[in-house]
Amino acid sequence: MKTAIITGASAGLGQEIVRQLGDVFPEIECYWLIARRADRLESLAISLPGKATVCLPMDLCDPMSFVRLQEKLAEDRPEVSLLVNNAGCGYLGRIGEMDTASQTRMVDLNLRALTAVTNMVVPYMPQGGRILNVSSIASFCPNPRMTVYSASKAYVSAYTIGAAEELRSREISVTAVCPGPMATEFLEVGSIAGNSKMFELLPYCDLVRVAGGALRAAKAGRTIYTPRLFYKFYRLLAKVTPVKLMVQLAKT
């Protein structure tokens, strides 16, 4: 049975990707849904008629979650056609002023969990398998007051490019989607809403369009997908502008 594994599936972009997954990958019959909140996963599973679902409530900042996932993979030996690494977090705050737990949580979830889950799942992916990593426009340039978050997303994009080349011989494609801000709970949880003039000025990406575009980009085997012309230009600008100047422009 062809399977998709989606982390961070209980809300925001992850939830919308799950909802649209059947439109782009109708051949995938089983969804493994991973997130901390069991009740939300179960509600999402109920909304997916005709699809087999496995709800795996776990906190990917907890190393024991990797043990549980490894055991589940070894027991079921699924044919993973699609892995979506969506779990992530971002917090607004200055270095030395923000609590250390928030800083390290971004590292644990955005880098460590994505790396661990991918490494565990790839052995169960056949030729033609696809990996979709959720990155951000923050990966294009360091963002003061979100320094750890932007650095973590730079890792996600760089990891994606390297993994795409490394897995090419196995015919497994790897895609990073790099959206701008979206109207999700991410803004409230990260203390961003109402506290950043930059976020008030930036054009927002539509959640539904980003999810659909990201899935189609993964199906097409694209390596980097940036929604909206504005952010495509920003990506180009970040490539050609000295980073010390870009950092001044990218302050959050």
pLDDT of residue 103: 95
Which segments of the chain does DSSP mark as H helices, in order?
A: 12-24, 38-46, 63-76, 100-107, 114-121, 147-166, 186-189, 197-201, 207-220, 229-240, 243-249
pLDDT of 249 higher than 80? no
Mean pLDDT of 61-69: 96
Tokens read off for 173 = 């494609």
Closest-CA residue to 70 (of 132, 60, 14, 9)? 60
Query: pLDDT category, 108, cuts 50, 70, 90?
Result: very high
Angle (nearest 5°) at CA 208 between 85 and 252: 70
What is the per-residue pLDDT across 25-46, written as a single tens digit (0 to 9) for each?
999 999 999 999 999 999 999 9
pLDDT of 56 higher than 80? yes
Minimum mean pLDDT range among 77-91, 154-168, 237-251: 237-251
**Against a cut of 0.75, is the pTM above it?**
yes
What is the per-residue pLDDT across 183-242, written as a single tens digit (0 to 9) for each?
887 877 867 877 777 777 788 999 999 999 999 999 999 999 999 999 999 899 899 999
- CB of 243 closer than 8 Å to CB of 141: yes
